[in-house]
Amino acid sequence: MTAVFKDYVKNKFSKPGPLKGLRVIELVTLLFGPSGPSFLAEMGAEVIKIELPPLGDVTRSLKPFDWFYKEQGPMFMHINPNKYYMALDLHIDMGQDIFKELIAKADIVEFNLRPAVTNRWNIGYEDLKKVNPGIIYIEKNGFGQWGQYAEEDRPSNDGAAQALSGYAWISSFPGQPPLKQGIWICDYFGGLMGETAVLAALHHRRKTGKGQYIEMSQSENIMRAMQWVWPYQQMKGKSVEPAGNRDQCICPADTFLCADNQFAAIAAPAPDEFKGLCEAMGKSELADDPRFKDHTTRLKEENALAILKIIAEWARTKGADDIENLGIRHGFAASRVHSGKDMFENKHRRERDFVKEIDDPLYGKYVEHCFPVMMSKTPPKIKWTVRPVGFDNEYILTKVLGRNQRQIDELYTHGVIGKWKDMQGRRPPSDWDGKYGAILRR
């Protein structure tokens, strides 16, 4: 343990989040949009999620196989913690005006709509810049704001980005069709990179007072993570092809089937790691084999195949946990392939507070991931999960915009703001007592 992180979890709530004092407005849907602002919310920013009443975000309806959690879409819960929920109709000019009032008091605004839609609603970049010249405005979508695919108004989503970037092509086994990831990687990675962009822009604003417009394309974003693929194709004049679980740039690095029918991943490219692995296999002599003498030599196709075959045969005589333990003892990287059960049961994740039980006023206790960046002076935190559509209207209008109850009632009457529809995922869970979690509301 590093000394600076002693008692980190114990003292988490005696320290602020790093983004304390920032206000973020989001008008986003599905996953690519909301995932990013959640990261800011977990780091302490005040994030106001604007939805259209009374249905709100469509993600509220999505469920794996046949499972809702207390009538709520579990992915909606995973990507929208710590936010305030306001339902505002942006088709109405009064709704647009309230949106602009919020922008005047905000630092960052996030969208994931088709190009030019915000212009139609009078909340495009040029409109909002007039209200707040320091605003940092990000628009995330499939193909950006200009270019052929954007102008063809092509819809996009995570699977399309995996297909169009070449990511899926190089993520299967040789001779097998391209494989889609078991997670929505382009949505999440794009969301994460969007916040890197936003936080860098914030630093610039601090120095100059100037905001800016940022556009993030789902497909382009994931291409950046494909790294060596591009110069390889330039140099060889041909495509990169899939290689299964083998790492094409590091040797040995692969996933192996073990005696207990589980799987273990191993990596041992450095001289000390490779020697350790050879010892663990009881084949110390391999470390001196001319085919395997250094990393670059080992990477030659025939040598790589030879050493991986030797390791594969050995791995089938060991349990996956045995291999993990041998890695600890002999100094090479190794892990059993973890499942959802491991995420839940593993002590290390709990002691780090990375996996924790949340105590939510509406949704009760459930287990969730925390933010994966531990910060010694400003620990990010997860505090609450999602809310029904329009749940925090009163709080935002009263605290942020100073409206009184009569004015708020009028906005309801005109349909400018609204509450949830009486249906799954929009209304509060059935066991809610009608009070817990409500802020500044009778």
Partner 1 sequence: MADYKRAKWAEWADHIKSLDDPATNFEKPEALDDLIVIDVSSRSMAGCYCSSLLAELGAETIRIEPPGGDLVRTYSPDGIMNKDTGLAYLQEGRNKFHITLDLETEKGREMFKSLAGQADVVIETYPAGRMDEWGIGYEELSKLNPRLIFASISPFGQFGPESNRKQFDYDNVAQARSSIQYQTGEFLTDGKTYDDMPWAVPTKAGPWIAWCVGGAFAAAGILAALHYREVTGDGQAIDVSSAEAYERLNDYALHWYGDQGHITERFGSLDTALWLYGFFPTSDGGVFLGGLRLEMWKAFVDILGKWDEWGADEWTTLAPFMKEDWQFKYQAMINPETSKYTSHELTQKSIEYAKTGRLAPITPVVAEIVSPWQTMHDNNWIERGMFTPVQDPEYGSVVCAQAQWKATGTPPRTKWVCRPVGADNGYIYLKYLGYGPVMLEELKGSGVV
Q: Which of 14, 209, 285, 348 binds partner 1 (CB under 8 A)?
A: 348
Binds partner 1 (CB under 8 A): choice among 131, 293, 331, 419: 331
Q: Which of 59, 15, 60, 23 is nearest to 41 (CA)?
A: 23
Which stretch in 252-260, 281-289, 395-403, 406-414 sits in contact with partner 1 by CB under 8 A? Answer: 252-260
Q: Binding to partner 1 by residue 148, rule CB under 8 A?
A: yes
Q: Nearest-CA neighbor of 395 among 83, 97, 180, 151?
A: 83
Q: d(Cα 357, Cα 395) in Å, to the nearest integer?
A: 26
Question: Which positions from 282 through 321 interact with partner 1, judged by CB under 8 A?
Answer: 295-301
Of 62-70, 81-89, 401-409, 433-441, the window that binds partner 1 (rule: CB under 8 A) is 62-70
The yes or no reply on residue 273 touching partner 1 (CB under 8 A) is yes
Q: Nearest Cα to 128, choosing from 95, 103, 150, 96?
A: 103
Instruction: Decide if residue 165 touches partner 1 (CB under 8 A).
Output: yes
Question: Least Å distance between CB 304 and partner 1?
Answer: 8
Closest CB to partner 1 among residues 299, 401: 299
Which residues from 357-376 bind partner 1, rule CB under 8 A?
Answer: 366-369, 371-376
- Name residue, tokens 């290689």: 243
Backbone angles phi, psi at 224, to 5 degrees: -60, -30
Note the helical H segments in 32-116: 32-42, 74-79, 93-104
**Residue 427 touches partner 1, criterion: CB under 8 A:** no
Total residues interacting with partner 1, rule: CB under 8 A:
181
Q: Judged by CB under 8 A, which stretch of 153-161, 282-290, 425-433, 434-442 contacts partner 1?
A: 153-161
Give min distance, CB of 181 to partner 1, in A. Answer: 5
Q: Which residue(s) pair with 227 in the sheet?
A: none
* DSSP codes of every residue in 268-332: --SHHHHHHHHHHTT-GGGGG-GGGSSHHHHTSHHHHHHHHHHHHHHHTTS-HHHHHHHHHHHT-
Residue 344 in contact with partner 1, rule: CB under 8 A = yes
Stretch that binds partner 1, among 49-57, 342-350, 386-394, 407-415 (CB under 8 A): 342-350
- Applying CB under 8 A, which of residues 245, 284, 405, 407 lies at the interface with partner 1? 245
3-state secondary structure of 191: helix
Which parts of 167-226 interact with partner 1 (CB under 8 A)? 167-173, 175-185, 188-189, 192-197, 199-204, 206-208, 210-217, 219-221, 223-226
Q: Are strands 364-369 and 108-111 parallel, antiparallel or unpaired?
A: unpaired
CA 258 centroid distance within chain: 31
Whole-number minimum distance, CB 130 to partner 1, in Å? 15
